[in-house]
Amino acid sequence: MARRPQPPYDLPMEGRAVDGEVAITGPGRLAGSLTPDAARRSARLLSAMADEAAGQGAALDEPTGDDAAAAQDSQTSSSEP
């Protein structure tokens, strides 16, 4: 396997519908747009690849950084009476 230039991101991409396209940004320098059909196919492929990667145990699904703080806040507020 080729060496990765950096660790994998633990933040999801963001997207918006803009002028009939799906605009995708982040994390990092990721940016672009897809047709609605390409976005749907990409979503299915990403989901399948995520399931495959999770089965390989290569990356943790535990949140880190800002995601970890948000997850902790969520757990704390949901467990309060």
Q: How many residues does the structure list for the chain? A: 81
| For residue 69, pLDDT beyond 70 | no
Please tell me the pTM assigned to this model. 0.61
DSSP code string of 50-73 = HHHHHHHT-S--S--HHHHHHHHH
Residues 9-62 pLDDT 10s? 999 999 999 999 999 999 999 999 999 999 999 999 999 999 999 999 865 555
